[in-house]
Structure 1
Amino acid sequence: MGSLPVANVQALAAASRDVPERYIRPEAGAHPGFADCGVDIPVIDFSRFLDPDSSRDESSKLHLACQNWGFFQLINHTVPKEVIEKMKLDVREFFQLPLEEKRQLAQVTGDVQGYGQLFVVSKDQKLDWADVLYLNTQPAPERCLRFWPTQPLTFRAALDNYSAELKNLADRLLEIMAKNLELNPDVVTDKFKVGIQSIRFNYYPPCPQADKVLGFSQHSDADLITLVLQVNQVQGLQIKRSGEWFPVMPLPGAFIVNVGDIFEVNPPLSSSCAPTSVILLRICNLLQKI
């Protein structure tokens, strides 16, 4: 498993105003537009789970979000703001490093970890307008430090703190979701504990022909849950629900949470309350997002 090596998108963007043919995506220009933009994805307030007077109502709200959307924004969560901001800062600095320095972390044959682009399996396939740094982060024995940046100097420590906080948050969130499905929480959390937490940093360079490319092709996530954090508030993520596309307007400090395929199709998790399938699409914007 791994990706074929391809050109660095950030370098392509800096070198020419012409987008190479492999990145031209006809479906980007043929996008049908959005559903009612007055309809927002659900917002879940994590702090309400910690209050006995509001936890039941917020759990019900979460259950409906998973059942009807499979997608929600999580506010007032437990990940400290300083941990998030430090990770954002170091990620920005990493992607601004000289190309030759980033290439020292390039993906190798048979491994998706490292710097490059994911899911490139053919020399003829269309490519996404994005550069990616993909790392296994939890549990610690699954880490391959050969791919962990040493520049900026604080990157590894920042990622270690960030990944630990994400695991704690995900554990608690999965426990609540399991209870909503009338399952023993261990049924879900045990699967999470034996799995691997991976973090993917996506960089979308400014594109001279942004209406012709996709930052990330439409897809569904194959894991239990995905927590998405944007460095800035530039809108680009879209979800397809009931045949219509909805833009996701990220709230400051929020995690955008997607219920993954494993949660939906795994037999011990199956029930009439299983989450709705959601297809994700990220349109490339003129401003970077990570």
Structure 2
Amino acid sequence: MDTKAENGVMQEHQELGWGKSLPVPSVQEIVKNDSQSVPERYIQEHKNRPLGSDSCPVSSQIPIIDLHLLACGDEDERTKLNFACKEWGFFQVINHGVAEEVLQKMKTAVAAFFELPLEEKKKYSMAENDLQGYGQGYVVSDQQKLDWGDLIFLLTLPNKYKKMKYWPVTVTGFKEGIEEYATEMHKVTEEILGNLSLLMGMDKDGLRLLHAEMKQAMRLNYYPTCSRPDLVLGVSPHSDASSITVLLQDDEITGLQIRHKGGWVPVKPIPNALVVNIGDAIEAWNNGMYKSIEHRAVTNEKRARMSIATFLIPEDDVEIGPVDSVVGTYHQPVMYKKIKYVDYLRYTLSREMDGKAHTEFLKLENE
């Protein structure tokens, strides 16, 4: 290949960034046009349908962590955090310091976007070579089953990574609501990272430094009602490729479910609380002591549901893999290989969501 061609390939590779997702119809529009039918492509295989019989036998809710106590250095609360990460991989955070007004402005901004006419929303559609924008993620073939939901995905921090052409700035309060919420999420995630660092045998800024230049992204989700919620999934089972994820749920509707002890546990919303989960990058860094957890979203017949997922993401060229403090402190054999984060991210985004299958790519073959 000549130099010009090589440069062309390099340029194309850079433009592709993390990956792409194929364009698909808006589920919101499908429901507007015919609320009683479920197109075949959205009907899940029998083994993947959200049956009542696959609910987890345990009745307890996921752990609840008081972030104010963590910020004050409370050792008992940090012990609770350790338990939550080891046994559940998910926890709800209260007393996080984010004003209710900020949470509400964020929800209002998301609702306002999805209330726009389709032609207006399509102005912010994902490009052929970009995951930012309006559409649906992880669509890699014309044959795969689709999720019953629409989304808009945006990089929100640092400012230099924002692509404003995907931000619907004509929606009153959208930009301001997201930017204010993004700033608050940065504070929350830094406090959680600091406490996880201590639990992993590092200084409090250990995980923050491992990220290098931390990135923040948001996935704004809209799940329309469905006449047959037993046949579809709002989001297919998956773990997150982030380091940690913070979810703002609808206070009135339970849609998130997490895999626990062989069943699915519904995460009942606590008003104004945040749901936090461990991502694949943390699993690799701490050698599987804390594992990212498979989760999914289900739908219902009566009310549409919205949620806002905020992802904390390492810099592209950062290496993920077991840190010395974890391997040395806990005398563990190394279970995960070292890999550039961007290579792992591209790997996951080139495939369908498939439970925890993607994290096998991170593990050593002799595990």
Per the normalisation by structure 2, the TM-score is: 0.74
Most deviating of 221-230 and 43-52 = 43-52
- 2:70 equivalent in structure 1: 49
| Among candidates 28, 40, 44, match of residue 49 of structure 2 | 28
RMSD over equivalenced CA pairs, Å: 1.5
Structure 2 contact 24–135 (Cα < 8 Å) conserved: yes
Aligned-residue offset at 1:215: 0.3
| Among candidates 186, 200, 213, match of residue 167 of structure 1 | 186
- 1:270 equivalent in structure 2: 287
Distance 1:232 1:277 in 2: 24
| Among candidates 86, 89, 107, match of residue 126 of structure 2 | 107
SS at 1:104 equivalent: helix
Q: Structure 1: which 5+ runs fail to align?
A: none
Counterpart AA for 2:89: G
Counterpart AA for 1:270: N
Counterpart AA for 1:205: P
Structure 1 ranges of 4+ moved more than 4 A = none
- 2:203 equivalent in structure 1: 184
Distance 1:148 1:32 in 2: 41
Distance 2:292 2:128 in 1: 32
- 2:334 equivalent in structure 1: none
How many residues are matched? 284
SS at 1:134 equivalent: strand
Alignment of 1:68-79 (within 5 A): 68-79=87-98
Q: Structure 2: which 5+ runs fail to align?
A: 1-18, 307-367
- 2:239 equivalent in structure 1: 220
Q: RCO greater where, 1 or 2, for CA within 8 Å and sep 6 or more? A: 1
- 2:264 counterpart of 1:245: yes
| Among candidates 31, 38, 41, match of residue 59 of structure 2 | 38
Most deviating of 80-89 and 274-283 = 274-283
Q: Deviations over 1:171-201 (max 9, x none)?
A: 1110011101211233301234523210001
Describe the shift of the 1:21–1:81 C-alpha distance in structure 2 as closer, same or farther (beyond 3 A).
same
- 2:28 counterpart of 1:10: yes
Aligned-residue offset at 1:90: 1.3
- 1:80 equivalent in structure 2: 99
Counterpart AA for 2:305: K
Distance 2:230 2:66 in 1: 35
SS at 2:195 equivalent: helix
- 2:247 counterpart of 1:232: no
Most deviating of 113-122 and 274-283 = 274-283
Counterpart AA for 1:108: A
